[in-house]
A and B are shown apart, each in its own frame.
Chain A
C-alpha cells in the first residue's frame, strides 16, 4: 500500500465529510426543530455558490466575495422561510417533500434565467491555489486544507453555540419538545427564521467552498442533498453531534471506498470481478451503510431524547 496516497485520501475524505457536515447541520436543525423536510436545502447550497461566483467577479477577490455572499445567502434563506416555508410547517411530511421539490425546480430555473445554462468557475487567489507539504513527502492542496480548517472551526463554533449559549439551549429544547418551548413564552417563530437562515448560510458556504474545485452549476445541490439526508438519517434527526460523526463517517467511507475498494476486493475475489464490482459497491457503500444502520437502529445513531 502507498502511504502517501492513503493519507491524502483520508484528508480528502475528511474534507468531503466536513462539507457534508456544513449541509447536514442546517438540515438536521431545521428537521429536528421544525419537523420540516427541506429538499430545497440543496438549492441554497447552489445559490450560495452562484452569489459567491458573481460577487468574487465584481469585487475581484474570492475572500471578499465569500464575506458578502454569506449574509446574502442567509437573507435569501430568511426571505424563503418567511414567505413560503413558514406556511408549510403545519402540513405533513409528504407535503414538505412535494413543496420543496417544487422549490428546487423554481430555484434551478431562476439560476438558469439569471446566470445562464453554463456553470460558473471561481478563481482562487494565489495563496490558496498551491500545495502545502503537511508531512515530509506528503503534499496536499492548500485550498482543500482550508476547507477542512473552516469546516472544523464552524463545527466547533456550532457546538459552542448549541451547548453553551441561551439560543443554543432554546434550539436543543425546540428539537426535543417544540410545544413546551412555545408554552414557555419563547417566540418560536423568530427562532425558526433565525435557524433557517443560519442553516441556509452554512449550506451556501459549503457551496462556495466547493465551487472553486468543481465550479458552480445548475442542479449541483441535487445530488449532494441526498447524501446530506443520508448523513442526518444515520446520525439521528435533530442531533448535531450525530450529524458531525455521520458526516465524517460518510465522507471517509465514500472517498476511501472509491480509491481502495478494488485493491481490497482483489484479495478476496479474482482481479476481473473485483474491477467490475468495486465501482458499483463503492458508489452504493453509503446507502448500504444507511440501510444497515436503520435496520438495527430505526431512529439513527443518536436520536434526540424526549420524542
Chain B
C-alpha cells in the first residue's frame, strides 16, 4: 500500500537499474564478454517469475510453495512443441500461459479452500505431482530432461536464436510484467486482494467473495510465471523436471522476501541479489551453499522488509 500511495515520488534505484540493463548489450558488444549478458538474462527471467509470485505472496498473502511448477510448465510448453519441430513462439507462449492458467485454476480452486500451513503444503504437493508427472513421461526425456535445439521464432519478423534479441525480448517482458502488476494492484481488484490479505473477514463482511478474487489472482500469477517459464526454456535450451523441484519454489520465495515482499520492485531486487550472490559466492568456494543458507537465516532474523525496505530507508526507493 505504501508504495501505491506514494508512487509519484522519484524512484532512483529503479531508473538506474533499468538504464544499466538497457545498455548492457552495448558494453558486451564492446568487450565481447557475453558472460554478463547471460547472467542478466537469467536474472531478468527469474525476476519475472518472482514478480508473479509476489503478486500472490506479497500482495495477496497467499504463500505458494509450488510456484516453480509454472516455470516447468512454461519451459515444457516450449520444449515439447520444439520436440515435434514446432518452433512458433506465439503458439508456444500461448500454450505456456494457457496451460499454466488451467493448472493454476484447478489447483488453486482446491488449495484456496485451505489456510496457513495447509496452503503452503498443498501448493507444494501439487507441484510435486507435476514434477513426478513429467519425470514419468519417458517420451520427453523423463528424469534426463529435454534439449531444445531451436529457440522460438515469431513468423518472419524475428527469432530468439540471437542472444541479444532474446535479451531485449526478456527485458521488454520484464518491464511489461512490472507494469501489468502495478496496474493490477492499483485497480479495484488489486485493492480487494490487498484488503483480503490484511483482513479477509472484513472484506467478506463488506460483501466481497474473497475466494473468487484470490482465485483469479492466483490464476493471473500462474499465467505470468508460465510465461517466465517459456522464456527460461528458450534461454537455457535445456529443460528438466529439476526446474520444478520444491527447492526451486523455495528459491523463488527467497527472491521475493529478500527483495521485500509486497513492494512492486522488490522481486527485481531479490532476483538480482539472488543471481549475483549465487555467482559471486560460487566463484569463491565450493561450499557456497552454506553461506547462502546462513544468509537466508539472517534475512529472516534481522532484515524483514528486504532490500526494498533498506532502499526506502536510505531514500533511494519510494
Q: Which residues of A contact B (CB under 8 A)?
A: 31, 37, 39, 84, 87-88, 91, 93-95, 97-99, 101-106, 108-110, 112-113, 222, 226, 229-230, 233, 237, 276, 279-280, 283-284, 287-288, 290-291, 294-295, 298-300
Contacts and interface: CB of A to CB of B under 8 A. Distances in A.
B297 A97 contact: no
A33 to B, nearest CB: 14
Contacts of A95: 300, 304
18 contacts: A97-B63, A99-B297, A101-B296, A102-B295, A113-B290, A222-B246, A226-B128, A229-B124, A233-B122, A276-B137, A283-B133, A284-B129, A284-B133, A291-B107, A294-B113, A295-B113, A298-B114, A299-B118
Contacts of B290: 105-106, 109-110, 113
Nearest to A237: B117
B296 A105 contact: yes
Interface string B275-318: 00000000000111110111111011100100000000000000
B294 A106 contact: yes
A103 B247 CA distance: 13
Contacts of B122: 233, 290-291, 294
B116 A93 contact: yes
B2 to A, nearest CB: 19
Given A97-B250, A233-B117, A237-B117, 5 more contacts: A93-B117, A97-B65, A101-B254, A106-B290, A290-B122
A294 B296 contact: no
Nearest to B125: A287
Given A102-B294, A233-B118, A87 B301 contact: yes
A50 to B, nearest CB: 16
A93 B63 contact: yes
Given A37-B117, A87-B301, A226-B124, A279 B110 contact: no
A226 B118 contact: no
B290 to A, nearest CB: 4
Contact of B137 (A97, A280, A284, A295): A280
Contacts of A233: 117-118, 121-122, 125
Nearest to B298: A102
Contact of A291 (B110, B247, B250): B110
Given A284-B132, A284-B133, A103 B121 contact: no
Contacts of B257: 94, 98
Contacts of A294: 110, 113-114, 118, 122
B17 interface: no
B120 interface: yes
Contacts of B65: 97
Given A110-B290, A280-B137, A294-B114, A98 B296 contact: yes
Contacts of B125: 226, 230, 233, 287, 290-291
Contacts of A112: 286-287
B199 to A, nearest CB: 16
A229 to B, nearest CB: 5
A229 B121 contact: yes
B113 A94 contact: no
Interface in B83-107: 107
A108 B290 CA distance: 8
Contacts of B296: 98-99, 101-102, 105
Contacts of A237: 117-118
A287 B296 CA distance: 28
Given A105-B296, A106-B293, A287-B126, A99 B120 contact: no
Nearest to B65: A97
A113 B285 CA distance: 11
B136 A93 contact: no
A98 B113 CA distance: 23
Interface string B201-243: 0000000000000000000000000000000000000000000
Given A37-B117, A97-B120, A291 B126 contact: yes
Given A279-B136, A288-B129, A88 B300 contact: yes
Interface string B47-66: 00000000001000001010
A105 B293 contact: yes
Interface in B109-154: 110, 113-118, 120-122, 124-126, 128-129, 132-133, 135-137
B268 interface: no
